[in-house]
């Protein structure tokens, strides 16, 4: 990874704000939450909300149930079996027990080389990572089964598929 000072120097060498080819491997954190399927916290709170996924992780490597983290409300399939559930608006994949998602953006467009998820409570439930181009096209970066990891935080960095366009 390139440290912050080198990243800033690199960015100054380009005229259009794009990152030069020599500037690879710099870390970025979530800049903005675009959309999400559910959050445990309410819209008038900062506890357990999607907003908490922005910026540099503040709780990792601690392990526990932190209100400063993002927690989805509808994990598992119990909510789908409930009589009060809303009707689906699109085809569901029932092979996967959860249909939760969070759509985020980053400050700079890049060719993704690595994605790291900082999991601080009951890790192992991520089953897919997608990359969007901002124009409605999505590419699958990684897919796998839920994992039994045990009690402890982790940095999850699966090997991702390389795609031929920049994302942010």
| 3-13 per-position pLDDT tens digit | 233 344 444 44
The residues facing 121 across adjacent strands are none
pLDDT of amino acid 7: 42
CA distance 131 to 69: 22
Residue located via tokens 């526990």: 64
Tell me if 140 is assigned to some domain.
yes
Flag whether pLDDT at 68 surpasses 80. Answer: yes
Q: Tell me which residue has tokens 């390389």.
A: 162
> What is the reported pTM?
0.74
Q: Give domain status of residue 21, yes or no.
A: no
Please compute the mean of the pLDDT values over residues 105-129 and round it to a whole number.
Answer: 90
Count the domains in the chain. Answer: 1
Estimate to the nearest angstrom the gap between the alpha carbon of 10 and the chain centroid: 26
**1 pLDDT tier (thresholds 50, 70, 90):** very low
Residue 85 lies in a domain: yes
Check whether 123 has a pLDDT greater than 80: yes
* Tokens 């124009």 belong to residue: 135
| Rounded distance between C-alpha atoms, residue 24 and residue 5, angstroms | 14
Whether residue 152 is contained in a domain is answered as yes
Distance from the Cα of residue 75 to its chain's centroid: 16
């Amino acid at each position: 990874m390139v440290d912050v000072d080198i990243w800033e120097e690199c960015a100054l060498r380009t005229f259009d704000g794009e990152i030069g080819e020599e500037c690879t491997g710099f870390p970025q954190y979530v800049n903005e939450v675009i959309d999400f399927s559910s959050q445990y916290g309410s819209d008038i709170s900062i506890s357990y909300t999607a907003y908490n996924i922005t910026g540099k992780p503040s709780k990792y490597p601690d392990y526990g149930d932190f209100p400063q983290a993002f927690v989805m409300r509808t994990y598992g399939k119990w909510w789908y079996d409930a009589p009060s559930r809303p009707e689906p608006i699109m085809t569901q994949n029932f092979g996967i027990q959860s249909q939760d998602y969070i759509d985020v953006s980053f400050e700079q467009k890049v060719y993704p080389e690595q994605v790291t998820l900082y999991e601080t409570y009951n890790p192992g439930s991520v089953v897919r990572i997608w990359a969007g181009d901002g124009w409605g096209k999505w590419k699958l970066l990684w897919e796998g089964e839920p994992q039994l990891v045990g009690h402890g935080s982790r940095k999850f960095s699966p090997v991702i598929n390389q795609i031929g366009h920049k994302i942010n």
